[in-house]
Amino acid sequence: MTMEAILGDDPEVKKETGALMASASQKEEALDKLWGRYSSWYRLLKGAAWLRRFVAWQSDKVEEMEATKSAVLKCVQRRYFPEELKVLRQGQRLRHSPINQLEPYLDTEGLIRVGGQLRRATLHQDQQNPILLPKEGKITELIVRETHEAKAHHLGREYTLARICESYWILNCRKVLDQILCTCVICRRYNWKPNKGRQADLPEVQVRSGALAFTYTGIDCFGPFMVKQGRAQVKRWACIFVCLTIRAVHMEVLATLSADSFIEALMRFTARRRLPKHIRSDNGTNMIGACRELRDAVTSWGKDGKIREALLVNQVE
């Protein structure tokens, strides 16, 4: 027989006792691991509510969620505001604390809330006195992200901040919110600014000074418009002439979009204003046809002897 077996039955021998110890740091590490498994504030509360249901076997789901939220927020405040909680539980005022200006106090559930001047307002307690939260921690990040996505619907920093302040007061909240917005894929997609290339130089006709109005002209057509003619309604188009130098505008009515109608409008324009030296337009079929007809007409004029003699008499090349 061994000595341990002999002394094991002796009542005079003092037996060794063992104990299991868990420090506060180990509890905080366990909670950090638990919070880190969730990516949503609602899912974290739901998971914690299931744990509380397993322990307390409660039945009402709404009460479970509210009780779970209070328990989680108490855990956060105990970790980040231990000295403040100790002073407030003793009924004393905070004197040397960074949250002293917020006039904090403990509510009936033991949560630190922010004071203010809205105690007589007919508002919810969370709106009158928001719950105080630190700027660090997984819980704060989940609350800010959940509010930004589910309540604010990605409508910007200030609106999200206003929705957060309806229930919580987060220290240096704008900095925390900016970090969330920088990682939000939807906000980055909506707020993305397209790259702007370098613009080309303006054409020479638009920057040449000293030219008379409509010396350099741009032409375009638009429409149609319904016009009442007698008892019927007919379509009419408009031809706009724009001076490329001073942006003066002249308009003529087109009966159709044919080349003949455009040539008539061009003749009326030149009769009232002046003959342009340079004309710019798009590749409209009516304008291309009119240009071809005018080019053919000028070519035929050069072949006509009478027209050539008349121009030479007037000293026109």
Q: What is the domain-level CATH number for residue 186?
A: 1.10.340.70
Single pTM value for the model: 0.52
Report d(CA 65, CA 42) in Å as an integer: 9
Q: Both 53 and 164 in a single domain? A: yes
Ranges of residues in the chain with a pLDDT under 50 are: 18-22, 59, 311, 314, 316
Q: Is the peptide bond before 134 cis (omega within 30 degrees of 0)?
A: no
Whether residue 65 is contained in a domain is answered as yes
H or E element that contains 279: strand 278-281
Instruction: Express each pLDDT in 130-143 by its tens digit.
Output: 999 999 888 999 99
Q: For the chain, what is the domain count?
A: 2
Q: Both 177 and 78 in a single domain? A: yes
Q: Both 252 and 130 in a single domain? A: no
Structure-token pair, residue 274: 């002046």
Whether residue 292 is contained in a domain is answered as no
Q: Both 43 and 159 in a single domain? A: yes
Whether residue 295 is contained in a domain is answered as no
Q: Both 36 and 178 in a single domain? A: yes
Q: Both 100 and 239 in a single domain? A: no
In the listed set 140, 163, 190, which residue is the last one of a domain according to the structure?
190
Whether residue 155 is contained in a domain is answered as yes
AA letter at 160 = T
Q: Both 135 and 273 in a single domain? A: no
Residue 161 pLDDT? 93
Residue 300 pLDDT? 65
CB 81 within 8 A of CB 112: yes
Range of the domain at 222: 205-282
Residue 316 pLDDT? 45
Residue 19 pLDDT? 46
279 CB-near residues (< 8 Å, 6+ apart): 217, 218, 219
Whether residue 216 is contained in a domain is answered as yes
Whether residue 124 is contained in a domain is answered as yes
Residue 20 pLDDT? 44
Whether residue 13 is contained in a domain is answered as no
Whether residue 301 is contained in a domain is answered as no
CB 275 within 8 A of CB 294: no
